[in-house]
């Protein structure tokens, strides 16, 4: 009860004002020390588990979830950090969201939301838990009535937002503070308040005392405006460009119907709980495929890293680079390696040029040898033809009367040749003709 009173009296609230007014009777009951709910249902503090067969079970820790289950966590009524009036506070729901996020048996999370907003206490931690969970598995914010103010602040961190009907209320992106000055009524009842501050505590409660006195500027400047800026920044980042701001400013605190909320990008669609469950399963299946793809990519990365390490080891051995236990390519090491590679590249280019020249010279020499061989074959053929012609001429001369073809020291009728023309052949022919 004390926690509830504390949050009501001193807290900063992000809540739809019209709803805040409706809760004044309950607040008065609490302030008078009376319980709003006599026998709250214990299940309201638990999280539900949607089993693969669509059956429902309840759990405090979600440890009994079967593989492929969906966790359903309810955010209902005015949001407070602590458990209140039979409803779980954001501290309890934050713990349950973290449990669902870490449980491998749970494939997705559905946040069933029906809240006008509430206290900013514990709100940041709640939103961060949803965002962290959404980075690991699909999270659906399922609006079942209203998701306003602080409710939208937190629920916007989900993967998708789905409203149950077109009449659901979404938005109220804004910040307010409501407080009551009951000093006169209490004074009339005989109650006298004395506030005494330390000498150096000149700023303590200053903005609230200024507000009670009618000066709201410091409260807006120092508390409400900074939180409101953070509110807008957070939901804008969470929705990642989904807001449609072409028609109006949605950051004025206005509350929208689900139909309008779809059009301006506050939510992603409208459908019942069955649709939300089906959508959660669809997103979970897609996430599983992406995870498998990521595992494959990691495997390929490991292969590439192994190849890289092998190359580095080879280069270290080749260039006598000092080996280290680390294979990380530091800037200094990279410069050293590049220098070594540059030198080697230059040497290889020089060797390549020399090889190219040698190949050219060899080709020229081979051509000269081929031309010489061809010329020799031609000369041999010419010589053979000349000898054959001479022998034919000698044969004709021998047939002439009185012809003498005797050569001193020889009695051959024909000239023999080893492929070189006999220098005496002309003389033989001349002598033969002279004897004619």
pLDDT at 7: 53
Q: What is the number of other CB atoms lying within 10 angstroms of the CB of residue 81?
A: 22
Those residues with Cβ within 8 angstroms of residue 372's Cβ, 6 or more apart along the chain or in another chain: none
For the chain, percent helix, then strand, then coil, each to nearest 5? 50, 15, 35
The beta strands (E) that lie in 120-209 are given as 139-148, 160-163, 169-171
pLDDT for 283-293, tens place per residue?
998 876 565 55
Which two three-digit tokens encode residue 174?
Answer: 């804004």
Q: State how far the alpha carbon of 348 is from the alpha carbons of 266, 315, 317, 345, in Å.
A: 64, 16, 18, 5
Per-residue pLDDT, 35: 58
Whether pLDDT at 271 is above 90: yes
Q: Which of 5-9, 235-239, 284-288, 336-340 has the highest mean pLDDT?
A: 235-239
In percent, the amount of the chain with pLDDT more than 70 equals: 69
Q: What pLDDT does 409 receive?
A: 46
Range of weakest confidence among 1-5, 111-115, 166-170: 1-5
Asked whether residue 106 carries a pLDDT value surpassing 90, the answer given is yes
Q: What is the mean pLDDT of residues 370-384?
A: 83
pLDDT above 60 for 15: yes
- At 248, the pLDDT band (50, 70, 90 cuts) reads confident
Is the confidence at residue 374, as pLDDT, over 80? yes
* pLDDT of res. 316: 64
pLDDT in tens, 302-351: 666 666 666 666 666 665 655 554 445 555 656 666 676 677 677 778 87
Query: What per-residue confidence (pLDDT) applies to 328?
Result: 52
Average pLDDT for 229-256: 91
Q: Give the whole-angstrom CA distance, residue 114 versus residue 73.
A: 11
pLDDT band (50, 70, 90) for residue 276: very high
* Mean pLDDT confidence for 65-77: 92
Instruction: Say if strands 56-59 and 47-50 run parallel, antiparallel, or are unpaired.
Output: antiparallel
Residue 77: phi and psi, rounded to 5, are 75, -175
Statement: residue 430 has pLDDT above 50: no
Mean pLDDT of 41-57: 83
% of the chain at pLDDT higher than 90: 37
Indicate the burial class of 418 (C-beta count within 10 angstroms; 0-12, 13-18, 19 or more).
exposed
Beta strand extents in 61-215 (DSSP E only): 69-76, 106-115, 117-119, 139-148, 160-163, 169-171
Instruction: Name which of 306, 273, 173 is nearest 232 in CA terms.
Output: 173
Confidence (pTM): 0.61
Most confident stretch, 69-73, 341-345, 369-373, 380-384: 69-73
354-383: average pLDDT: 83
Whether residue 265 contacts residue 242, with contact meaning beta carbons closer than 8 Å, is answered with yes
The domain spans of the chain are 2-178+203-287, 331-434
Provide the 10 A C-beta neighbour count for residue 211: 19
Distance separating alpha carbons of residues 331 and 317, to the nearest angstrom: 20
Model confidence band, residue 436 (pLDDT cutoffs 50, 70, 90): very low
Mean pLDDT across 362-368: 84
The average pLDDT across 257-269 equals 96
Which residues are bridge partners to 139 per DSSP? 109
- In this prediction, residue 121 carries a pLDDT of 87
In this prediction, residue 29 carries a pLDDT of 62
- Is the confidence at residue 113, as pLDDT, over 50? yes
What is the pLDDT, as a whole number, of residue 263?
Answer: 94
| Mean pLDDT comparison of 288-302, 306-320, 420-434, highest-scoring range | 306-320
Q: What pLDDT shows up at residue 14? A: 65
Q: Inform me whether the pLDDT recorded for 68 exceeds 70.
A: yes
Average pLDDT score, the chain: 79
> Over the range 354-388, which residues count as b (16 or more CB within 10 Å of their CB) and which as e?
eeeeeeeeeeeeeeeeeeeeeeeeeeeeeeeeebe
- Contact between 52 and 68 under an 8 Å Cβ cutoff? The reply is yes
Write out pLDDT tens, residues 151-166.
Answer: 999 999 999 999 999 9
Domain 2-178+203-287: top CATH class: alpha beta
Question: Per residue in 125-146, pLDDT tens?
Answer: 999 999 999 999 999 999 999 9
pLDDT of residue 272: 96
Among 10-14, 60-64, 370-374, which stretch is predicted with the lowest mean pLDDT? 10-14
Stretch (H or E) spanning 363 = helix 331-398
pLDDT for the residue 379: 82
Secondary structure E strands in 211-336: 255-257, 269-270
């Amino acid at each position: 009860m004390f926690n509830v009173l504390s949050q009501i009296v001193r807290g900063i609230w992000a809540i739809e004002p019209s709803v805040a007014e409706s809760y004044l009777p309950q607040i008065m009951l609490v302030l008078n020390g009376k319980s709003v709910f006599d026998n709250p249902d214990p299940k309201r503090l638990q999280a539900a588990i949607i089993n693969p067969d669509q059956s429902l079970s309840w759990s405090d820790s979600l440890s009994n979830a079967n593989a492929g289950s969906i966790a359903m966590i309810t955010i209902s009524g005015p949001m407070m950090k602590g458990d209140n009036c039979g409803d779980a506070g954001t501290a309890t729901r934050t713990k349950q969201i973290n449990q669902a996020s870490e449980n491998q048996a749970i494939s997705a999370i559905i946040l069933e939301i029906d809240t006008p907003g509430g206290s900013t206490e514990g709100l940041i931690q709640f939103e961060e838990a949803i965002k962290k969970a959404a980075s690991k598995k699909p999270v659906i914010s399922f609006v079942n009535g209203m998701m306003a103010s602080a409710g939208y602040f937190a629920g916007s961190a989900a993967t998708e937002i789905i409203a149950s009907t077109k009449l659901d209320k979404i938005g109220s992106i804004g910040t307010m503070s409501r407080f009551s000055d009951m000093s006169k009524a209490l004074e009339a009842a005989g109650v006298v308040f004395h506030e005494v501050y330390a000498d150096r505590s000149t700023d303590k409660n200053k903005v609230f005392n200024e507000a009670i006195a009618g000066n709201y500027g410091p409260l807006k400047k120092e508390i409400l405006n900074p939180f409101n800026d953070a509110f807008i920044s957070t939901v804008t980042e969470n929705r990642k460009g989904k807001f449609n701001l072409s028609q109006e400013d949605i950051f004025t605190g206005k509350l929208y119907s689900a139909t309008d909320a779809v059009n301006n990008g506050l939510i992603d669609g409208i459908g019942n709980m069955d649709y939300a469950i089906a959508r959660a399963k669809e997103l979970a299946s897609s996430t599983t495929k992406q995870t498998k793809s990521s595992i494959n990519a990691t495997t390929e990365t490991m292969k590439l890293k192994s190849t890289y390490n092998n190359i580095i080891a080879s280069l270290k051995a080749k260039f006598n680079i000092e080996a280290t236990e680390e294979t990380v390519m530091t800037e200094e090491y990279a410069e050293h390696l590049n220098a070594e590679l540059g030198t080697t590249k230059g040497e290889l280019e020089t060797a390549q040029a020399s090889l190219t020249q040698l190949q050219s010279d060899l080709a020229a020499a081979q051509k000269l040898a081929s031309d010489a061989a061809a010329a020799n074959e031609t000369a041999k053929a010419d010589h053979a033809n000349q000898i054959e012609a001479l022998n034919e001429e000698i044969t004709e001369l021998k047939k002439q009367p009185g012809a003498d073809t005797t050569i001193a020291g020889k009695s051959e009728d024909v000239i023999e040749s080893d492929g070189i023309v006999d220098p005496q052949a002309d003389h033989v022919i001349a002598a033969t003709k002279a004897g004619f």
